[in-house]
Each structure stands twice: as C-alpha cells, then as structure tokens.
Amino acid sequence: MVLIKGALTSISLAILAVTAAAFPVRPTLEKRQDGDTSNGLTDLVTWDTYTLKVNGERLFLFSGEFHYYRLPSPGLWPDIMQKFKALDYNGVSFYFNWGYHSPKKGVYNFDGVRDVQRAIDSAAAADLHVITRAGPYDCGGFPSWLMDMASPARKSNPENDENCREWLTEIDKYLVPNQITKGGPIILNQLDNEYSANTDPGYLEMIKAKFLEDGMDVPTIYNDANMLHNFAHGPGSADIYGWDNYPAGFDCSNPNAWPNNRSTYYMEYHRLTNPEQPAALWEFQGGAFDPWGGPGYEACYEMVNEKYAKVYYKNNYAQGITIQNLYMTYGGTSWGGLSKPSVYTSYDYGAAITEAGLMTTKAYENKLQATFLHTVKPFLTTEHFVPKVDNSDIILVDGRAAVDAPTKFYIAQHWHTASNDTDEFHITIDTTDGQFEIPRSSKLVIDGRDAKLLVADYDFNSQHLVYSTSEIFTHLDMGSHDVIVVYAYEGEEGEFAIKINSDDVTVKVDDSVKYNVEDSILQLTYKHLNCTTPAYISGGSDQDLLILIAGYSAALRWWAPHVGDSYEERVLIQGPYLVRGAKVVESTVEFIGDIDKTTDIQIVVPENITSFSWNGKKLDAKQGEHGIWTAAIEFIEPDVQFTDLTQVTWKYSPASPESMPDFDDSDWVTCDRLSTNSITPHDTWPILYADDYGYHTGNIWFRGTFNGTSEITGFNLTAFSGSASAWMLWLNGEYLGGFDVGNHAFTDLNGTLIDPEGENVISVLLWTTGHEENGVSDDNYKQARGLTKSTLLGISNQTIWSIDWKIQGNLGGEDLADPVRGPYNEGGLYGERNGWHLPGFPDDDWEDASIPETKNRTGVSWYRTTFDVSIPEGYDVPMSLVFDDDTDTRYRALVFINGWQFGRYANDLGPQTRYYLPKGILNTSGKNTLAIAVIPLDKGAQLGKVILEPYGTLQSAMPAVDLVESPTYSDRQKK
C-alpha cells in the first residue's frame, strides 16, 4: 500500500492536483482492441485493454489485501480465505515481508507462523487467484540487518543487488512452484512496491531478471503510487502497469468529512498511459490506518464504510477499472515490533473484515458488488459514453456501453461526493426496445453518499431486461425458471421492465408491487421494503422468472455460493451471518457457515433439490410460493467460560536492575563504533545507535559510566527513536524521569547525585516503536534508534568521548534466542532476556499482587498470571484483552500471551485499549499464560484493570485451528 506495512501511505499531493480538466473525457463507443497480449512466457494469463484473462476466461479481478504475517496463527488463514471467497472475491494479494523471515543476513525461516506455503495453500483451497508482492520492499519489510548496508537501498548497486537477490532466491523457492503455470494459484507477480520517487530503472531490471532467472513466468505488475506514468513503458516496466489511490486519506478524526475528490480522470489517464492493458488499481483504499493518539479504528471504519464503498468503488467501475485490489480487506495485527513508529499494535484498518475476523456491513456491500461484476458479463468489455440526464448539475451519470452486446450501464452518483442530500433524477436510455426516460412512473433517487449501477438492454438467462432502476445482485438459471435479485435502500421506489413475447402472461405479486404491460414490455413498479418481496412472471419468455425485490438490509444477507466449477453454478440463500460454501449431494444442498442468532432463511434452488443441511445438520425446510424454501437455523447459546482476571492471583516482580550502579554489565556490548550507515547525524562519539550493535527491536538499555570531578555539573543527552517513543533515565540508581524523545539537559547534579570522586553510572531505557519506511527511496529506514548526543556539563576541554557506554537489546541480538517467535517478538527488558514472558517461567517466589494495582511502582514491573478459556467446538468466540485504566500517571506496557507479544499499550497516548488474542496463539480449550511488563514514565505508576472480553459469539463452521508452537521457559533453558 502506500502505507504502514509498517504504516503510512505515501500518496503524492500530485494525485490531488490532477483534475478532470487536465484529462478531458473522450466519449467513444468503438471497440479499442482485438486480440490478447501475453508476456511471451505463458498464455494462461493474458490481457487486453479491457480485462485480464485467466485460462482464456475474461474476468473482473476483485481482489483484497491480506498479510499472513499480521495473523501469526496459520490455522486461522483458511478462515479468512473462506471469508474472502464467501464475499465473492476472486483474488487475494499477499505481501511477503523480508524482515519477518530473516533476522540476520543469510538466515531465513519459513516454518511455523512463517510458512508461506501454508498461506498460499489456504488461498488455493478457497479457489482464489493470488497476486504475489515479494518486494524486496513492501512499504516496510526490510530486514533490520539491512540497516548496516552502506549502499543505498532500492537502487542498483553491487551491495544492494546482492542482498535483494539473496531474499528473492529464498522466497522464489515458494513462489515459483505455486504459479498457475505449475498448477498453483499465483497469476501475477509484482515488482517491488510503489517505486515512484528517486527511482532507478536498473533496480527494477535487476528484480525482473532475478525473477526470470528463478523461474517466475506469470505476468509482472507495477503499482505507481503517484499516477505519474512511472515505468509504464521502457526500462524497468512491468507487463501490466497500474496505480494506487487512497482518496479518503488517513485522518479518521472527522470521519464524516469526506473530501470531494472522487476521480473523474482515471479513464483518460489510462488511455494516455497504457491503453493496451486493462485499467488496474493494484491498491485502492479499503480502510485507513490510525496513529498513536488517533480516534481509533471505529472512526476509520466510519470514514471508509459501506457508503464509501458504494460511491468510490462504483466510481472506479464507471472509469473503466476492471482490476481492483482493496487494501486492506483484512488488516490483522502488527504484533511485536512489526509496525512503523507512527501506528500502534492493531492493524484493523477499518477493513471489511475486522481484526477479530468479523463481518461488517462494508463486507456485505463488497459482496453485492463483486457478485454483480462476476454475473453480468457484458460489463467486462465496455466503452464510456455520456448519457442524457436531468438534474445533471447535481447528479453525475457515467454511461458504459458493452462492445459485444447492446447492454448499457449507468453509474449514478452525486457530483459532490460528500453530499448528504437525496436528489431525484431521470435518465434517457436508448435500447433495442426503444428510447425511454426512466423511471417512467416512479421516483429514482440518489441518497446522500450513495451510488447506483443500473442496467438496461440486457439478455440474461432466458430473459431480456429492458431496464431496471433497482441494482442487480445476481441472476441464475434454476432449470425450470430464472431468478434475479434486485435491491435498493428501504423506502426507495423501483421499476423493473422486461420484454415479453406473449400477451398471455401471468404475474403473481403482492399488493406492494404494481405492474402493467405495454408494447410487449412488462413493467413492475414497487417500493423496496425491509424484507425481500417476490414477484413471479410466467408465460412471458421461454422460462418463468422469479424477481426477488430486496431492501438494502435484506440484500446484504443474500448469498450466492458456488456449487459447481463455473461462476454460473450457484444457489441462493438469504439470512445467515456468513455462508462459507455449499455443495450439492444428490438432491440435497449442504451449506456451511456462521450465524449470530437464530436465523430465518430463504433458499432458492433448482426443482431437483428437495432438502438442505446447515453445518451437517438437516434443516426442517418448507417449500412455499414460487418455489422459495424457508427454514430456521437455531442458535444455541454456548457455555463459554474464561477466567475473571480481577479475581485471580497475579505475581509481581520489579525488573530494572540495570538502573542500579552495581549491576553487572560485563557481558553487554561495548559501544565503540566511530562511524555509522545511519542517515541520522550524531553529535558525539562513540556511535550510540542500537542497530549498529545488532539490536533492532523493542526496548534498548544503555549504561554509561564516567569518573566524577568537582567540575562536572551534569550531562546532556539526546534520544532519537521515532514517533511515540520514550526514554527513562537513572543516575546512580536514582530515577530522573521519563521523556519523549529529544534533548534533555540534566543540570546542577554535583554535590547531590554525581559522586565527584568516584564512578558514576547513567542508565537509559529506550522504548522504541519500530523503524521507518523507505517509501521515497531515500534510506529513511536507516533512521537511528538510540542516542545522538552524550556530553558532560561543566568541563570546558571535554573530549569527544567523555562517557563510556555499553548497550543491551534482545537476548542474542540477530542470533535469536527464540527463532520460533522471530525477530520482532522480544526486546531488551531484563524480564524478556530472562524469559519472564514465557509459559512455565518459575514465578513462585515472586510477590503476590492483584490487578488493578493498588501500589505505585517505580521502575520496570512485571506481572504474571495464568487463566483458562473454554470455547465449545462449533463456535467462534474471538477474545481480547482490555485495559480499563483511568490513571493519570504515564506508563507503557507490553502484553505477552503464551510468550507472544500482542500488545504495546501507552496509557497517555492511546487510543488502543483492546488487544486481539487470536485463536491458536490463545488456547481456547485450556490454560494460558499472561505476562505484562509495565514501564512507568512518571516516577510511579499503577497498572489499571485488565479484563478478558469476547468480541462476539458465532455458531460457526470455521475450520479447526491448531495451536501455534509456543516454546516454554524450559525450552529456552535447554539451549
């Protein structure tokens, strides 16, 4: 993305400067291209100006972003992939995070939570096409050891080329055999990511050559962050160019303040840039990240909600986009030290699927759109035209005409994107059945922040649609009759007109639907209700037609799961929270899915289907009028049990012995480097940057010693560590305070804390929040984490090396003490180095404590307890840990669940107080270990109330989730 892969987006202001005036729309209806293009290596994935083709089949690629490394429980990957498929996505995009797999140059790990083969297999099992994005850069993702590279990254030079080729050699072992050309799901492979500033064509050529050398033969893609024609042609270019856009931005603090920036220029930009390829949005905004101190992801979801999806995604289609990858569709968790400094642990992103794996209204809206795009095939090959519309100063209607059929599409929205008004309009349509101004006898309105994609002159199944002022979800051939589902907001009026070939037609409707026949056109007129209203037409064509007229809320819960190999082989079911899949066994449809309450359902299937099951249990279904089956799925409240953390005994231990002057730091690393590859200027020597000494993640300790004299009055330090970082300082065991990063002079200490005749010890604990991105290829990722300045005060002829320093980070540095959990799980706290966060650590001799804490604690404190969780089989009850804390004292905290760091809490910054505990990391059928490290910034702090809390309860068919390997304290002691 443009963003926090770690975090932030680098969308250029140049995008916003592009206007419709800069790219005047060129109306045209001629077909732009005949014949397909390939990369010369495979004909399994080809393309033309309109769409991608896979195995010769034209498709709209409706894809979503998923990062396996932000969900370190591989047993949950199939669950998320099933949800993508249930929402009718046909693609998934994977970043592959170099640093997640490589703690040290030459060392790589693809086991356990890093098993990329298992991630790819999960996508393949859900029948999803895979877009691979292995970088080497992925808006973050550089291994920390690359900080010590002298040469610039993302440029072609011997050192960087060698390092990148090392990574690509390792990841290609998994990508190459999983290509479609080898029977796998990978259809496209991206070159680097958003490489749009300070560029070097040689760098991309090196990447292309390496992929080719290793056997990658699927088409390559390139995503331009700034829509500036970068690498659309010439050296460094990929097979299919595309771009990214995040039009809502990332300030969620005022979620209802939409910008008026829906694109009206994509179409012309595509014509001018790469008309021989399909128009592709390799990243389009599916949510937004939230920074430390932000309003929280609830606000981000509100900003980029289902209304946003209606307006902005349908506008993409109006502009001719046929490849759309939504970043993110599932965000997950930036656990441990994955995130960049500006963002916190949760990467929920306000995405369609929440961090806890729950459905949202936006997810259902995406389903409505995706299913339409897969169903109505003429939409895949269209040209733009400008229809006649009244009220056109308020309402924008883009027309798209199919090139191989008479079908026309009308995408209607407000000119003012952020409008909350409801406005009426008419469209003049030219069809093979004549010219009409629609609607003919009702009202057609656009609600505030809505968009409609309307269809006219469309042959479907055995029917001919003249027009519909309701949107289409899908249509199916049920053998004995056809069925179509249409929808709009409750209370809106609609018209549905079909051609009939006989006056001997029978229409069965209830009182809410009116109809008339004129000139062989049957028109239904109705109001959308808060339900689904059937209308049945017989005698008008070769097959009868069942029209299901749904209100928006009802439409959201219509599902069209596949029961065969083609997109046309589907059945319909309305009501459930989630329908994961269906299959036909003789005369039975076997559905699997989730419900959140006792659910009344409707089912529409061919006549030969006479029975149904839900998650293996037979349904008592009744067939009613028009062949619609009804049943109820009973929700049985489960016996979910989990420990009340306010009632358990906690164990407490102080944990900052490094602050004491007599602490033995003899095995710490001596800071003696006189130069650095960091881009951060330093004022004094030695170099005091953690990365230069092999420590890259989490908390870092520095201890400096100096001999006192009567002249020395204090010292001056500058800490540098990025957003939301902090540092705490002690002198000779006395706490001098906690600070935001920056400079601080400690004065007037002689005669008080400084011993003028002996050795003095400064202890600094640096709370770091990750490394920066390198989005504009300026080596920004090499910003330091450490001290840029270290001087004594009061002496005039001070040398550049006035204080002797030692440093300590995570146990083992790049030689990980815990390769299973990997390079981002642990920092340099005393408790982390000694395994206090691990299951099985012997804490019997620790002091008993209760939470919420009643005592102010100075220095680092650790709290440990165990708790039980019991969630019955057949239920999905995602769990969280919640801080309920109203203390005014500032502190930071780390949360470890079964040894895995799943939370960085800052009570003075916020906004995150709730931390997801994914199943697999969390044992939902037994005992768990919880450890919390508390680091006060103020002199004393109290840990507030901590509770376990479910996100919700689903009766679920989610796949079985295996426990993640979680090495214990005794496992570490054996090493």
CB 572 within 8 A of CB 367: no
Q: State the pLDDT at residue 810.
A: 98
CB 52 within 8 A of CB 45: yes
- Tell me: the pLDDT tens digits for 395-428? 999 999 999 999 999 999 999 999 999 999 999 9
Q: Which residues pair with 133 in a beta bridge?
A: 95
Report whether pLDDT(787) > 80.
Answer: yes
- Tell me: the pLDDT tens digits for 73-110? 999 999 999 999 999 999 999 999 999 999 999 999 99
Q: State the pLDDT at residue 968.
A: 98
Could you give the CA distance from residue 300 to residue 500 in angstroms, rounded to a whole number?
Answer: 48
CB 14 within 8 A of CB 151: no
Report whether pLDDT(14) > 60.
Answer: no
DSSP 194: -
- Tell me: the pLDDT tens digits for 139-177? 878 999 999 999 999 999 999 999 999 999 999 999 999
* Token pair listed for 665: 């730091």
Residues in the chain: 975
Instruction: Give the mean model confidence (pLDDT) for residues 860-864.
Output: 98
* Token pair listed for 520: 């062989």
Could you give the CA distance from residue 635 to residue 595 in angstroms, rounded to a whole number?
Answer: 7
Q: Which residues pair with 129 in a beta bridge?
A: 91
Residue 965: left (phi > 0), alpha (psi -120 to 50), or beta?
beta
Give me the half-sphere count of Cα atoms (radius 13 Å) on the Cβ side of residue 783: 17
Reduced to 3 states (helix: H, G, I; strand: E, B; else coil), residue 548 is: strand
User: Among residues of the chain, what percentage have pLDDT more than 90?
Assistant: 92
Q: State the pLDDT at residue 801.
A: 81
CB 938 within 8 A of CB 738: yes
Name which of 579, 706, 578, 263 is nearest 570 in CA terms: 579
Q: Is 283 annotated in the active site? A: yes
CB 905 within 8 A of CB 841: no
The two most distant CA atoms of the chain are separated, in Å, by 111
- Tell me: the pLDDT tens digits for 437-458? 999 999 999 999 999 999 999 9
Instruction: Please enumerate in sequence order all residues whose Cβ is within 8 A of that of 65, keeping only pairs 6 or more positions apart, or say none.
Output: 1, 92, 93, 95, 283, 286, 325, 326, 327, 328, 329, 330
- Tell me: the pLDDT tens digits for 351-398? 999 999 999 999 999 999 999 999 999 999 999 999 999 999 999 999
**Mean pLDDT rounded to a whole number for the chain:** 95
Q: Which helix (H) or strand (E) holds 306?
A: helix 306-308
**Confidence band (pLDDT; 50, 70, 90) for 26?**
very low
CB atoms within 10 A of CB 771: 28
Q: CA Rg, the chain, in Å?
A: 31
- Tell me: the pLDDT tens digits for 655-690? 999 999 999 999 999 999 999 999 999 999 999 999
- Which class for 150: exposed (0-12), middle (13-18), buried (19 or more C-beta within 10 A)? exposed
> Against a cut of 0.95, is the pTM above it?
yes
CB atoms within 10 A of CB 406: 16
**Confidence band (pLDDT; 50, 70, 90) for 886?**
confident
Q: Is 194 annotated in the active site? A: yes
Q: State the pLDDT at residue 33.
A: 67
Report whether pLDDT(486) > 70.
Answer: yes
- Tell me: the pLDDT tens digits for 519-537? 999 999 999 999 999 999 9
Q: Letter for the amino acid at 736?
A: L
Q: State the pLDDT at residue 30.
A: 65
Could you give the CA distance from residue 869 to residue 640 in angstroms, rounded to a whole number?
Answer: 8
Q: State the pLDDT at residue 567.
A: 73
User: Among residues of the chain, what percentage have pLDDT more than 70?
Assistant: 97
- Tell me: the pLDDT tens digits for 560-614? 999 988 778 999 999 999 999 999 999 999 999 999 999 999 999 999 999 999 9
* Token pair listed for 943: 């840990």
State the DSSP string of 504-521: --EEE--TTEEEEEETTE
Q: Letter for the amino acid at 729?
A: L
* Token pair listed for 213: 């050398």
CB 487 within 8 A of CB 547: no
Could you give the CA distance from residue 738 to residue 743 in angstroms, rounded to a whole number?
Answer: 12
Name which of 684, 34, 1 is nearest 281 in CA terms: 1
Which of 581-585, 620-624, 629-633, 747-751 is least confident? 747-751
Q: State the pLDDT at residue 888.
A: 81
CB 592 within 8 A of CB 126: no
- Tell me: the pLDDT tens digits for 42-78? 999 999 999 999 999 999 999 999 999 999 999 999 9
Q: Give me the catalytic one of 170, 194, 355, 471.
A: 194
Instruction: Give the burial string for 26-45 (b: 16+ CB within 10 Å, else e).
Output: eeeeeeeeeeebebebeebb
CB 449 within 8 A of CB 418: yes
Could you give the CA distance from residue 609 to residue 589 in angstroms, rounded to a whole number?
Answer: 7
**Confidence band (pLDDT; 50, 70, 90) for 256?**
very high
State the DSSP string of 209-273: HHHHHHT--SPEEEEESS-S-TTSSSTT--SEEEEEE-TT-S-TTSTT---S---S-HHHHHHHH
Report whether pLDDT(25) > 90.
Answer: no
| Alpha-helical segments (H) within 41-97 | 77-86
Q: Give me the catalytic one of 170, 283, 773, 826.
A: 283
Could you give the CA distance from residue 696 to residue 823 in angstroms, rounded to a whole number?
Answer: 8
Report whether pLDDT(216) > 60.
Answer: yes
Name which of 67, 74, 72 is nearest 962 in CA terms: 74
